[in-house]
Chains A and B, each alone.
Chain A
């Protein structure tokens, strides 16, 4: 388990709370009456078997889906319907289960796209490359280069991302999310399809982000070793229902969790 850090002092401060959220598509119930919270500065894992509603939960948090019931409070503000770009504006960034990059663009452009919201200069300035707009572009470029250094992807910054191997694509996608300087970072299976070495790299980036920059992270992951090592608290979903919530060791020992994963004869 992770050593306690400075962030843990403010651990009781809530960043996000999900209250009794239910989401269904027609007759299919994706999430039923789930409540949980995410504290500022923690790494929060969401686990569960396939079809447990994990990704649906992330989609609800960042506004892709609108739950039929329940409330979501982010940074003290409660909202019922929020559009994805409003969530982004509020400081929620995410990555996707099946890498969703802008395939035709270079790694650098992809990460620059993450700065879309941070650019303030008017279109006319932008059009003519007038002073302030140019200065702004340079500043954003500098921040993006920092992210590129952090993720050690200098060598591929001019490569169209469609050409990159999967592991690197995932890293670029993380870079794009970081470019938004989010308060809450949602990672949907950041290590899926990676080999051991890539998984270790990604784990280190996630820990560094959390330790050095204090970024709050919610992640979905199937690799139990990774989840137990990285996370402060673990939420377990099964068939859209919360079956456990707590510290990794507690959750690991929970009989209901073991049943959900291994199957149980009734």
Chain B
């Protein structure tokens, strides 16, 4: 019994890393504008579509480089055409703008690249690896592609965490998120900060899109993966990079374990049809967290004098 559980746990953790990757994109933009970027999922889709279609015509590395350029250009366009004109507006206005960007990107991406299901072939090994064969009968099955995705993600997270925690960038981002005018008045260039953050969020979306695309195929539903990032963010805290990681791992492992451990109990006790726990478990967990610790595991508490 223990073998399959550990196997599920590892599989869940690896999926969790991918959730964390999507959540990370949200955290970056939230840190720099105090706004939930609804377009993050669309950016994942757009990035994955670009990479998938470009790699049909050229070697993967070249396609990747071009996709990076596209995501940076996209960040530039968003700053120039949208954000620049919304300085000093309420958070809700910025949020509405990201909503618009989301729908535009979803549509435009498909206009540009087509709306079929495309494949990204990273040439990763597909044969499953078996670990601890001597300890557990049959060993523990691990998907090498997921393992590699996890490693790439871990490196990315480490670099980003270092960059934002240990540079003056962190202070500048918080300043921008807190008050646009005040940040400008001390000489923080708002436009450049936004451009940088959106570009980095675009690159994170590209990596997330690449990994999810390899796993599920590049298709419209990829932009819905982003919704799974919501409970991850509620768990980890909207402003915390480590929080996004831990939240992602908890959700990833939790929902897989719930499917394996909780489902049989529910089926037996209540005579249910079973299944589908994976779909709602994350959200229920997030709801419970909201009741107990609304700022998330690592989020900042908002203190306001009334």
B-contacting residues of A (Cβ < 8 Å)? 62, 64, 83-85, 88-89, 93-94, 96, 100-105, 109, 112-114, 116-117, 119, 123, 126-129, 160, 162-165, 176-177, 179-180
Contacts and interface: CB of A to CB of B under 8 A. Distances in A.
B187 interface: yes
B303 A119 contact: no
Nearest to B167: A126
B169 A117 contact: no
A176 B186 contact: yes
B189 to A, nearest CB: 5
A197 B181 CA distance: 29
A176 B172 CA distance: 14
A127 B174 contact: no
Contacts of B162: 127
A220 to B, nearest CB: 15
Contacts, number: 101
B179 A100 contact: yes
Contacts of A163: 303, 305
Contacts of B175: 102, 105, 113, 116
Interface in B173-207: 174-175, 178-179, 181-190
Nearest to A88: B187
B166 A128 contact: yes
19 contacts: A84-B181, A84-B184, A89-B187, A101-B182, A102-B174, A102-B178, A102-B179, A102-B183, A104-B178, A104-B302, A105-B174, A105-B178, A109-B171, A113-B171, A113-B175, A116-B187, A123-B167, A128-B166, A160-B303
A85 B304 contact: no
B121 interface: no
Contacts of B163: 123, 127
B184 A117 contact: no
A85 B188 contact: yes
Given A85-B189, A85-B190, A113-B183, 5 more contacts: A64-B184, A88-B186, A113-B175, A127-B162, A128-B166
Interface of B: 162-163, 166-169, 171-172, 174-175, 178-179, 181-190, 300, 302-305
A117 B181 contact: no
B186 A93 contact: yes
A127 B303 contact: no
A132 to B, nearest CB: 13
Contacts of A176: 182, 186
Nearest to A180: B186
Contacts of A64: 181, 184
Contacts of A89: 187
Contacts of A103: 178-179, 302-304
A127 B182 contact: no
A113 B167 contact: no
A62 B166 CA distance: 30
Given A109-B171, A113-B175, A129-B166, A96 B303 contact: no
Contact of B179 (A93, A101, A164, A179): A101
B288 to A, nearest CB: 25
A205 B167 CA distance: 32
B109 to A, nearest CB: 32
B182 A119 contact: no
B108 to A, nearest CB: 30
A163 B305 CA distance: 5
Contact of A116 (B168, B178, B304): B168
Nearest to A179: B186
A175 to B, nearest CB: 11
A164 B305 contact: yes
